[in-house]
């Protein structure tokens, strides 16, 4: 048989998951050297892998300098997609493990709230009391990651803010939680029992880019619709617990839900937020796939229906 020469433009891209993980780590840390230290690699190995990646895709992903690396405009778009791919691969692996381990009784719950206090903590404690032999696995990630994990079967149920049905899922409205202002000790607003939304006009509000940070920002904007009336908003790529630490350092104020205050942070004070008439709330709901036949899921759904038959609605 005659040899057939493959056209150069028909070759598949030579990209592997390791290259994507190295590039994402470098972007998150901002340094090839520090990323290599975290990954326990030689810097030359990581740098070479990223150069090969850039050559394969025909895009310069990073701007290099003596101060470290930062993504180029094209690199930012590539890295955004790379993170999604890596999340989906991780979810696929987790889904396979979940399917195998469900045979011995396991329930995987994803959430975007806190377990330090509140209804989710109480519900899961109640579930363990009713089903002590069921292994309970909890995951706190971004809404995008959780939704993908639910769709792929890696998670059995999500508990997140809002009541909008997720794609291909069933929805059960649950509870509502008050929105509170997190203030540094000694802040002038701590002298009040209730803080008005209008009191935030001249404040710097620190919010996490992770859920429910976006929902809290939406509520703030709805309460202060005029741009000139809104406070300065700083969005940080950190967890809610780090936001609390920034507040305790006096770098600004923040918004939290009731379940967040169970894990107290020294130097922070919480006050109820109101529009002058009533407190403000965020609603929570559960989401699951209708074709999920895990008996443990049906046990939790029965418990949720009994505990929250008529959820309150947010104002």
Annotate 277-290 with three-state secondary structure.
CCECEEEEEEEECC
* pLDDT at position 100 over 80: no
Q: What is the CATH number of the domain that holds 55?
A: 1.10.10.10
Q: Which pLDDT score, from 0 to 100, does residue 60 have?
A: 94
Q: What number is the average pLDDT over the span 38-53?
A: 91
Q: What's phi and psi for 123, nearest 5 deg? A: -65, -45
d(CA 131, CA 294) in angstroms, rounded, equals: 13
Q: Which pLDDT score, from 0 to 100, does residue 262 have?
A: 65
pLDDT band at residue 8 using 50, 70 and 90 as cut-offs: very low
Q: State the DSSP code for 249.
A: T
Checking DSSP bridges between strand 204-208 and strand 232-236, what pairing results, if any?
Answer: parallel
Number of domain units in the chain = 3
The SS3 of residue 256 is: strand
Q: Are 159 and 188 within one domain? A: no
Tokens of 110: 């994803």
Q: What is the pLDDT of residues 263-311, one digit of tens each?
A: 667 788 999 999 989 999 989 999 999 899 899 999 999 999 998 886 4
In-domain check, residue 74: yes
Would you call 40 exposed, middle or buried from its count of C-beta atoms within 10 A (0-12, 13-18, 19+)? exposed
In-domain check, residue 241: yes
Cis amide leading into 219 (omega within 30): no
Q: Are 206 and 247 within one domain? A: yes
Q: Are 154 and 197 within one domain? A: no
Q: Which pLDDT score, from 0 to 100, does residue 267 have?
A: 83
Q: Are 277 and 197 within one domain? A: yes
Q: What is the pLDDT of residues 127-181, one digit of tens each?
A: 999 998 899 999 887 788 888 889 888 999 999 887 666 767 889 999 899 999 9
The residue whose two tokens read 């057939």 is 4
Checking DSSP bridges between strand 62-65 and strand 68-71, what pairing results, if any?
Answer: antiparallel
158 Cα distance to chain centroid: 12
In-domain check, residue 203: yes
d(CA 216, CA 254) in angstroms, rounded, equals: 10
Q: What is the CATH number of the domain that holds 119?
A: 3.40.190.10
The range of the structural domain enclosing residue 70 comes to 13-81
d(CA 53, CA 67) in angstroms, rounded, equals: 22
The residue whose two tokens read 């770098």 is 251
The answer to whether 205 and 269 are in contact (CB under 8 A) is no
């Amino acid at each position: 048989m005659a040899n057939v020469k493959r056209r150069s433009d028909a070759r598949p891209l030579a990209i592997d998951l390791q290259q994507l993980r190295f590039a994402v780590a470098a972007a998150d840390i901002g340094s090839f050297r520090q990323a290599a230290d975290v990954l326990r690699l030689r810097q030359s190995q990581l740098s070479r892998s990223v150069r090969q990646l850039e050559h394969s895709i025909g895009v310069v992903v990073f701007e290099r300098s003596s101060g470290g690396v930062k993504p180029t405009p094209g690199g930012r778009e590539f890295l955004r997609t790379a993170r999604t791919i890596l999340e989906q691969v991780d979810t696929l692996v987790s889904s396979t493990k979940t399917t195998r381990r469900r045979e011995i009784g396991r329930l995987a719950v994803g959430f975007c709230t806190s377990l330090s206090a509140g209804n989710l903590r109480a519900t899961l404690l109640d579930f363990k009391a009713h089903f002590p032999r069921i292994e309970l696995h909890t995951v706190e990630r971004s809404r995008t990651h959780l939704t993908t994990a639910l769709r792929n079967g890696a998670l059995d149920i999500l508990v997140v803010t809002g009541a909008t049905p997720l794609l291909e899922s069933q929805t059960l409205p649950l509870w509502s939680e008050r929105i509170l202002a997190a203030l540094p000790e000694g802040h002038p607003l701590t002298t009040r029992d209730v803080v008005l939304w209008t009191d935030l006009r001249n404040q710097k509000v620190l919010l996490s880019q992770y859920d429910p940070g976006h929902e809290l920002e939406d509520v703030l904007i709805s309460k202060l619709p005029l741009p000139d009336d809104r406070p300065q908003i700083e969005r940080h790529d950190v967890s809610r617990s780090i936001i609390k630490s920034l507040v305790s350092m006096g770098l600004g104020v923040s918004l939290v839900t009731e379940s967040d205050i169970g894990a107290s942070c020294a130097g922070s004070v919480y006050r109820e937020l109101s529009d002058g008439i009533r407190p403000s709330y965020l609603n929570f709901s559960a989401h699951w796939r209708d074709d999920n036949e895990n008996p443990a899921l049906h046990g939790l759904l029965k418990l949720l229906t009994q505990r929250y038959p008529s959820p309150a609605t947010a104002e």
